[in-house]
Amino acid sequence: MAAEGPLLLSLDLSGTFVFALNGAMTAVRAAKLDIVGVVALAMITGLGGGIIRDILIGAAPPATFRDWRYLAVAGGGGLVAFVLSRALNRFALTITMLDAAGLGLFAVTGTSKALAFGLGAGQAVILGVITGVGGGTLRDVLIREIPTVLYSGLYAIPALIAAIITAAATRGHLYGSPAAVAAAGACFAVRMIGVHFDLNVPGPPGARANRGKRATGGDGF
Amino acid sequence: MAAEGPLLLSLDLSGTFVFALNGAMTAVRAAKLDIVGVVALAMITGLGGGIIRDILIGAAPPATFRDWRYLAVAGGGGLVAFVLSRALNRFALTITMLDAAGLGLFAVTGTSKALAFGLGAGQAVILGVITGVGGGTLRDVLIREIPTVLYSGLYAIPALIAAIITAAATRGHLYGSPAAVAAAGACFAVRMIGVHFDLNVPGPPGARANRGKRATGGDGF
Amino acid sequence: MAAEGPLLLSLDLSGTFVFALNGAMTAVRAAKLDIVGVVALAMITGLGGGIIRDILIGAAPPATFRDWRYLAVAGGGGLVAFVLSRALNRFALTITMLDAAGLGLFAVTGTSKALAFGLGAGQAVILGVITGVGGGTLRDVLIREIPTVLYSGLYAIPALIAAIITAAATRGHLYGSPAAVAAAGACFAVRMIGVHFDLNVPGPPGARANRGKRATGGDGF
């Protein structure tokens, strides 16, 4: 854990920040919330994945409530996005990119922290995916959207790729900053390629998959 | 616990499997999700109740993340239902029956595990009901349905019956495979009778209870 | 903890009761649920905040499942509100007042219990707010409303005030029944003033905040 501490913390805080920006921008665009609602949704989006992860691996109270920097980064990210919302909104792509970045970062921290707590590799991978998609799923439920993870095939898959790379690197004693960045980067790249080419995975045999776009924006460019 | 281990595990895995099938079929019918969404909703429906139970009784990480069989059974159930969705869909009754079976099985495991962790009988009964309805409630929230437990009176009641039988049998030192199967079976029977005869419990005095059927199927035949 | 035990318990049970009444009345008014749904929503609203608090601070199983009085008070409150729903409904203000009272009481217990479990003051304040808004947020998600905390600026702010007073009083060794009642009362007063004068906090620069009222009542008079 000695070497893992600072790496986990920096990845976690980065994921918290980008998800907080994403949550705040979603709040401004999709739900037209006021400043308290924007900061609240930013904090839930930024902190949700890590809180779910820590509760599930038995690390309560979650890191969020032990280290003040989590709350500061999430709240600060929400305030920044609130103030800059007009400027940021010119880049419709930004929300999607921040979400993809947070997805990869949290998939890595979820997997690596689960392994550090003694879970098996398969379970750690699933926990990594849950950590990656958790904050965004809470965000979507609260603003009454169907969560992206359910209807967009190429959302869980990139998180799964990051989680598998992390677990494999850890098992091969190769885990460290380069592997973590590579895993999160692979997730980001696959997610953005999927969004750009509007790729999807197959629907049920004989049925049409639901490729409907969200009316409220926030996904796709 | 020596004798309880295998019984709890087999009931839990059975509940996980039937709820996973139910979740996948709901995903195909109600929300028209793709393969990742179907498997994700299957896993959430199959594993949700047990995860909530284990977090609430202080048994983190949940059994789901300690024993790979939970993930395998839930994921496998989701894949099976995805592949066979056309065939399974001919039986509209199937979704409701799987749900009733999962409800009973998890009400039993929730109550019995809560008692094993030292909770009082009343609290264990409530925890059993929460375990029974938890996975389906997560499923309904994620696909934006009002949870069955809130509007269908004869949904919580059967779970309550199974939980009370389990708690009484445990207190009377009669708990074992026969009692567990009887409790889950009683829940299943009461639930299916309620569905068949469209029974409901009373609404508020002077008001009409909401007997609205879900537009998306998944309940009633 | 010796002196804190009875105070925390009485505040917690009071918050549970008023939130249970509120949840039941919301269930009757907004969602037209039957008796099981009404009692279920009452229990979720009344117990949700405290359960979330105890899980987050690592106090599983939550007080709810250790002390039968929580379940009795929540279930009893739900039944009372169900039976009296016609009479209670004449006072549209009642739902909002019960909600404001529960908000303040739980913000106090959340902050004070988090401090007792060793969390820092800033984190304890956030945890207090989460405890205050938790039950109502679960209620809103389950009946498919956008949670009040997200769109009504003067909902989180009063909870924040109660949490800050509680944390400051505890740090100054002044915490006790008078401080707790003052903190919860300040929250209640600020919330009701905000509702009465329809006050709101600012929306994003250049945008219009969503001041939409909920169609289902339950908020505003």
User: Tens of pLDDT along A170-181?
Assistant: 999 989 999 999
Backbone angles phi, psi at B218, to 5 degrees: 85, -10
Per the CB < 8 A criterion, the answer to whether B56 and C54 are in contact is no
Closest Cα in chain C to A52: C56
Closest Cα in chain B to C143: B146
pLDDT at residue B78 tops 70: yes
CA atoms of A185 and A183, how far apart (whole Å): 5
CB atoms A123 and B27 under 8 Å:
no
pLDDT value, residue C50? 96
Q: Give the number of beta-carbon pairs within 8 Å between A and B.
A: 95
CB atoms B147 and C142 under 8 Å:
yes
pLDDT value, residue B203? 73
* Cis preceding linkage at C202, omega within 30: no
Joined tokens for residue A50 = 């890590």
Q: How would you class B130 by CB atoms within 10 Å of its CB: exposed for 0-12, middle for 13-18, buried for 19 or more?
A: buried
Closest Cα in chain A to C127: A65
Distance from CA of C66 to the nearest CA of B (A): 7
Q: Which of C34, C83, C141 sits opposite B209 (nearest CB)?
A: C34
Coarse DSSP helix, strand, coil percentages of chain B, rounded to the nearest 5 percent: 75, 0, 25
Reduce the DSSP state of residue B218 to 3 states and report it: coil
CA atoms of A83 and C188, how far apart (whole Å): 30
Reduce the DSSP state of residue C202 to 3 states and report it: coil
pLDDT value, residue B212? 40
Name which residue leads in pLDDT, A195 or C215: A195
Closest Cα in chain C to A61: C57
pLDDT value, residue A72? 96
Joined tokens for residue A175 = 């885990």
pLDDT value, residue B210? 42
pLDDT value, residue C209? 41
User: Tens of pLDDT along A138-183?
Assistant: 999 999 999 988 988 789 999 999 999 999 999 999 899 999 999 9
Closest Cα in chain B to A140: B142
Joined tokens for residue A111 = 């997997």
CA atoms of C169 and B188, how far apart (whole Å): 53
Distance from CA of C106 to the nearest CA of B (A): 19
Per-residue buried b or exposed e for A53-79, using 16+ beta carbons within 10 Å of the residue's own CB? bbbbbbbbbbbbbbbeebbebbbbbbb
CA atoms of C46 and C75, how far apart (whole Å): 9
Joined tokens for residue A178 = 């380069």
Helices (H), C30-174: 35-56, 63-66, 68-83, 85-89, 92-116, 121-142, 148-151, 153-171
Reduce the DSSP state of residue C141 to 3 states and report it: helix
pLDDT at residue A206 tops 70: no
* DSSP type of residue C204: S
User: Tens of pLDDT along C24-54?
Assistant: 999 988 767 888 999 999 999 999 999 999 9
Which of B17-21, B126-130, C2-6, C134-138 comes out lowest in average pLDDT?
Answer: C2-6
pLDDT at residue C4 tops 80: no
CB atoms C204 and A38 under 8 Å:
yes
| Cα separation of the two ends of chain B | 40
Q: Which of A32, A62, A71 sits opposite C122 (nearest CB)?
A: A71
With CA atoms as reference, report the closest residue to B16 among B50, B62, B65.
Answer: B50
Distance from CA of B90 to the nearest CA of C (A): 30
Interface chains of chain B (3 or more CB pairs under 8 Å):
A, C
Element (H, E) at A73: helix A68-83
- Contacts of B121 by beta carbon, 8 Å cutoff, 6+ apart: B115, B167, B171
CB atoms C65 and B149 under 8 Å:
no
Q: Give chain B's mean pLDDT.
A: 87
pLDDT value, residue A152? 80
CA atoms of B72 and A211, how far apart (whole Å): 28
- Contacts of A133 by beta carbon, 8 Å cutoff, 6+ apart: A49, A103, A147, A148, A149, A155, A156, A159
CA atoms of C162 and C167, how far apart (whole Å): 9
CB atoms C34 and B123 under 8 Å:
no
CA atoms of C183 and C177, how far apart (whole Å): 10
Q: Phi-psi bin for C173: left (phi > 0), alpha (psi -120 to 50), beta? A: left
Span A8-23, average pLDDT? 94
Distance from CA of C201 to the nearest CA of A (A): 6
With CA atoms as reference, report the closest residue to B106 among B87, B86, B71, B133.
Answer: B133
Q: Which of C150, C208, C209 sits opposite A41 (nearest CB)?
A: C150
- Contacts of A219 by beta carbon, 8 Å cutoff, 6+ apart: A95, A96, A99, A148, A152, A195, A213
User: Tens of pLDDT along C166-215?
Assistant: 999 999 998 999 999 999 999 999 999 998 887 777 777 765 444 443 33
CA atoms of B19 and B86, how far apart (whole Å): 18
CA atoms of C118 and B166, how far apart (whole Å): 38
CB atoms C61 and B122 under 8 Å:
no
Interface chains of chain C (3 or more CB pairs under 8 Å):
A, B
Per the CB < 8 A criterion, the answer to whether C24 and B29 are in contact is no
Q: Give chain A's mean pLDDT.
A: 87
Reduce the DSSP state of residue B30 to 3 states and report it: helix
CB atoms C150 and A143 under 8 Å:
yes
CA atoms of B219 and B196, how far apart (whole Å): 11
Tell me the residue type at B205.
P
Closest Cα in chain C to A50: C56
CA dihedral C126, C129, C131, C134 (to 10 degrees): -120
pLDDT at residue C123 tops 60: yes
Q: Give chain C's mean pLDDT.
A: 87
Q: How would you class A151 by CB atoms within 10 Å of its CB: exposed for 0-12, middle for 13-18, buried for 19 or more?
A: buried
CA atoms of B63 and C100, how far apart (whole Å): 38
What is the sign of the dihedral through the CA atoms of A110, A111, A116 and A118?
Answer: positive
User: Tens of pLDDT along B158-211?
Assistant: 999 999 999 999 999 989 999 999 999 999 999 999 988 877 777 777 654 444
Residues of C in contact with A38 (CB under 8 A): 204
pLDDT value, residue C206? 60
pLDDT at residue C160 tops 60: yes
Q: Give this prediction's pTM.
A: 0.89
Tell me the residue type at B74.
A
Tell me how far CA of residue B47 lies from CA of B17, B23, B87, in angstroms.
9, 10, 24
Q: Which of C57, C65, C84, C143 to mutate to test the interface with B (most CBs of B within 10 A)?
A: C65
Span C129-135, average pLDDT? 96
